[in-house]
Structure 1
Amino acid sequence: MPVAWETLGTGGPIIALLAVLSLFSLTLIAVKVIQLWPVRSGLARRAEAFRQWREGDKHAAQQTVTAGSSPADRVTAYAMQALAKGFRGPRLESELMRRGNDEVARMSGMIRTIELIAVISPLLGLLGTVLGMIQSFQELEMAEGAANASVLAGGIWQALLTTAAGLLVAIPAAVGAGLLSARIEGAAQRIESAVGEMLLTDENPPV
């Protein structure tokens, strides 16, 4: 292991840092996947709750939507509770917007960290390449022209290895952050749609 570490030259510490960032980002992605898995669920449950609300069975509607686990279910459940208590108008809409924003903020936690890892990993790899190239040319200068091509080539591949490592860390992080962000956007749309349908249902009771 020490021999392998020495072959990395100045890129060794950067490779180690990139390995830590890779493990950290993959762990965050796994945690966020588990957290965000149910955020777009409950569409059929909410449709059933809206039907019960329109038919006048408000208690059953609240029980139906409260059983859900998605952000849209939680915001809808609060909307039903507030409407059942006579809380309406701009104040209710503002509170629903606040709760919706809180749900989105909670879902978005740590996404910025994953995006940051995707941004800085290639830069760290490039830094390692630059440091490795500097070291190679310093060795060439110290050899006063006596160094052969294999020595210079060895220094170059060691330097380029850090760039490759940086890209290997950045690509999964960028893909993960993009897919997770898309799922959060979809959940936010579900919240907005559910709130809009709930308010419309309450304004248009059955005749």
Structure 2
Amino acid sequence: MDAIEIVTVPSTADPLARIYELLGLGGPAIAAIALLSVVALALILWKTWRLAVLGAWNGGPCFRRAVTLWAEGHQDDALELLKGRCTIRARLARAAMLARCDPSLDDSSAQAETGRVAQSLLMQARSGLRPLELIATIAPLLGLLGTVLGMIAAFQALQEAGSRADPAALAGGIWEALLTTAAGMAVAIPASVALTWFDSVVDRLRHDMEDAATRIFLRPLSTKAGTKVLAAE
């Protein structure tokens, strides 16, 4: 008779039960770290979407084409190309072009207005980075705090047990305490990686905006440049 192979299907409740067990072992520290992990994930997803809306990874060709048109003396065409664009590069380039074309502003005033717009746009690009930086900083500290408190509790139990102390129980208390440090690092590492990535994206945006503003203000302005666009607005 052929042997019958019995396949055990893992219960779907086991992972959840294990998570609840770990939360209970870690105490308040690991509960706070778990909350931070949810907030960090939400911030990373939101920041990725926000940078995509601001055109961090697209909109570059149109922006560069407009700046090239401006540098070649086609001011009106460059302004029309950027009209209605909502990417951060395009908004800065258009603001710089309009400030340059405004007859009521001299070069220094136009540059000051362009700098003001650039700072406002970069603040939008950097929004949400401070909370993520805070999570990357305090998550391992919370883990360390939970470990220290757990070690204190373990050695207090060892002292109270006296000569009847069980080394296995002490080892169990220690690994339970170290669990919070591991959890804190597990949250802090992805948060730090995401923060570094977002910083590099914003730095690239800032560089592109500075380069475009410099090219726009270095190009001599043609007579009556931008008058059609300014009149339309």
Tell me the TM-score normalized by structure 2: 0.80
| Alignment match of 1:27 (pick from 26, 38, 42) | 42
Task: Tell me which residue corresponds to 1:77.
Answer: 94
Cα distance, 1:6–1:22 mapped onto 2, change above 3 Å: closer
- Structure 2 Cα separation of the partners of residues 92 and 184 of structure 1: 24
Give 1:133 deviation, angstroms.
Answer: 0.5
Give 1:66 deviation, angstroms.
Answer: 2.5
| Alignment match of 1:120 (pick from 132, 138, 147) | 138
Task: Tell me which residue corresponds to 1:62.
Answer: 79
1:133-182 deviation digits (Å, cap 9, x = unpaired): 01101111111120211100010000000000000010001001110011
Residue identity in the other structure for 1:44: P
Tell me the TM-score normalized by structure 1: 0.89
Residue identity in the other structure for 1:35: R
**8 Å CA contact retained: 1:39, 1:69:** no
Cα distance, 1:130–1:119 mapped onto 2, change above 3 Å: same
Unaligned runs of 5+ in 2: 1-16, 224-233
Give 1:98 deviation, angstroms.
Answer: 1.3
1:31-82 deviation digits (Å, cap 9, x = unpaired): 1111113225433213322343355543322121224332221011112222
Task: Tell me which residue corresponds to 1:182.
Answer: 200
Identity %: 36
* Structure 1 segment 3-152 matched on structure 2, within 5 A: 4=21, 8=25, 11-37=26-52, 38-39=55-56, 41-54=58-71, 56-86=73-103, 87-152=105-170
**8 Å CA contact retained: 1:40, 1:190:** no
Residue identity in the other structure for 2:76: H
Cα distance, 1:47–1:123 mapped onto 2, change above 3 Å: closer
- Structure 1 Cα separation of the partners of residues 48 and 91 of structure 2: 20
Cα distance, 1:166–1:54 mapped onto 2, change above 3 Å: closer
- Structure 2 Cα separation of the partners of residues 137 and 22 of structure 1: 30
- Structure 2 Cα separation of the partners of residues 51 and 100 of structure 1: 20
- Structure 1 Cα separation of the partners of residues 149 and 91 of structure 2: 52
- Structure 2 Cα separation of the partners of residues 146 and 136 of structure 1: 14
Which one is further off, 119-128 or 99-108? 99-108
Unaligned runs of 5+ in 1: none
Alignment coverage as a number of residue pairs: 203
Q: Which has the larger radius of gyration?
A: 2
